[in-house]
Amino acid sequence: MTQANHRPAGTAGRITVLGLGDMGSAITRVFLDHGYRTTGWNRTASKSAPLAAAGATVAATATEGVAASPLVVICLLDGTAVDEVMGSVEAAVAGKVLVNLTSGSPGQARANERWANEHGAEYLDGKIMGDPPYVGTPHVVLPFSGSRSAFATHEQTLQVLGSIAYHGTDAGMAAVEFMAQVAVAYELLIGFLHVLRLVQAEGGDVAEFAERIAGSAAAYPPLLTSMGKAVRTGDHPPDLGSLDVQAALMDDMIGHRESVGVEAVRMREVKELMERRIAGGHGAQGFSSLFELLAGRS
Ligand code: NDP
């Protein structure tokens, strides 16, 4: 497929993948499809068989896998699995580039980088936003952070996995990006579900309402972008209107929800924040100015 056999001989086109679960297998297949000489290792050896049939070399141990390639991609279940496998390979990682695509926290990524550097390896942390069948397409987004030289050297290779972006030398930043992206989805979607409750409680058709919202969602990208700029500069022009005008709606929003037995906790939070900003003399500012009150809340 695509660029098969365009990789140079020697070690430059060699990649090892540690962890051949659903995601590691998908990654291995994409590398094979692009002509990389790919070695795979998995704790449970039977999972390697389909990849061996597809052209991968199977390593008997993680150490053998690490030794096989200059670039070692790690895709295990979690941080504990990474610690166990890295602990078992130890000295073999010297001189290698480790690209860890296992989900985990910014703190784990920074600790992994320290460990790798202490063992003579370069470390790049990556996170995968997408499902295994879509690996190798632009629908899968992969933020990376950590060693700049490792990213520069292997950027072309990593590009075959999906839409990639480099988030700087702090190894934790790919995980920050991942956590923040996931958090935005959950913050929006739980609010959306509460609103569907409201629509249903009033006898509306939730599916039809969802379709209308899907249509009006096009208004959000410019709003998100301008709010990001407002937060960065600390200058908060009216966005959804001024806070003075927006706040006048809040009692009705809360009262409506309560009248049909729908959760109103977030609306009460919004009202409380708006009132504090207005009391502080910021009533002419926009919704983005609530950001100024969010430090230290939990
Ligand atoms: P799987 O459960 O399919 O595979 C997990 C892999 O981790 C297997 O290779 C398993 O080996 C290995 N493993 C677990 N514990 C250990 C251990 N202690 N020592 C050695 N190997 C171990 O998960 P996925 O492949 O789907 O996920 C891998 C990573 O990708 C995760 O961090 C996940 O969050 C992330 N991801 C997955 C997505 C998905 O949709 N699948 C989407 C986005 C990210 P064994 O076969 O022996 O059990």
| Digit-coded pLDDT (tens) for 156-211 | 999 999 999 999 999 999 999 999 999 999 999 999 999 999 999 999 999 999 99
Q: What residues line ligand 1, using a CB cutoff of 6 Å? A: 19-24, 42-44, 47, 75-78, 81, 84-85, 102-103, 128, 131-132
d(CA 282, CA 269): 17
Q: What is the mean pLDDT of residues 149-162?
A: 98
d(CA 255, CA 273): 17
Sign of CA dihedral 204, 268, 245, 236: negative
- The closest residue, in CA terms, to atom 11 on ligand 1 is 43
Task: Identify the pLDDT of residue 12.
Answer: 58
Q: How far lies 274's CA from each of 13, 114, 238, 246, 254, in Å?
A: 57, 44, 13, 8, 14
Q: What is the mean pLDDT of residues 14-19?
A: 98
Q: What is the mean pLDDT of residues 252-269?
A: 96
| Digit-coded pLDDT (tens) for 95-130 | 999 999 999 999 999 999 999 999 999 999 999 999
- What type of residue sits at position 228? G
Position 241 pLDDT exceeds 90: yes
Q: 120 alpha carbon to ligand 1 midpoint, in Å?
A: 26
Please identify, by atom number, the ligand 1 atom nearest to the C-alpha of residue 103: 32
Position 9 pLDDT exceeds 80: no
Domains in the chain, start-ordered, CATH in brackets?
A: 4-170 (3.40.50.720), 205-293 (1.10.1040.10)
What is the spatial order of strands in the sheet that 14-18 belongs to? 57-58, 37-41, 14-18, 71-74, 97-100, 122-126, 141-146, 163-166
| Of 25, 44, 48, 76, best ligand 1 pocket probe by most atoms within 8 Å of the beta carbon | 76
Question: Residue 297: left if φ>0, alpha if ψ -120 to 50, beta else—which one?
Answer: beta
Q: What is the mean pLDDT of residues 29-50?
A: 97
As a whole number of Å, the CA-based R_g of the chain is 24
Alpha helices in the chain (DSSP H): 22-33, 49-53, 62-68, 79-89, 106-118, 148-159, 173-201, 206-216, 220-233, 243-259, 265-279
The interaxial angle of helices 173-201 and 106-118, nearest 10 deg, is 160
d(CA 175, CA 200): 37
Task: Identify the pLDDT of residue 296.
Answer: 78
- The closest residue, in CA terms, to atom 31 on ligand 1 is 77
Task: Identify the pLDDT of residue 291.
Answer: 98
Report yes or no: 27 and 136 within 8 Å, Cβ to Cβ.
Answer: no
What counts of helices (H) and strands (E) characterise the chain? Answer: 11, 8
Better-scored residue on pLDDT, 116 or 218: 116
Q: What is the mean pLDDT of residues 78-102?
A: 97
pTM for the model stands at 0.90
Position 1 pLDDT exceeds 50: no
